[in-house]
Amino acid sequence: MLISTKEIEVRYAETDQMGVVYHANYLVWMELGRTQIIKDLGFSYAEMEKDGIISPVLDILASYKKPLRYGQTATIKTWIEEYDGFRVSYGYEIYNDEGDLAVTGLSKHVCVKKDNFRPISIKKKYPDWHEAYEEAKKQPESAVK
Task: Quote the CA–CA distance of 27 and 34 in Å, as a whole number.
Answer: 10
How far is residue 50's CA from residue 71's CA, in Å, rounded to a whole number?
A: 36
Q: How far is CA 27 from CA 18, 34, 63, 93, 114, in A?
A: 19, 10, 11, 12, 22
Active site includes 97? no
Active-site residues, by number, are 16
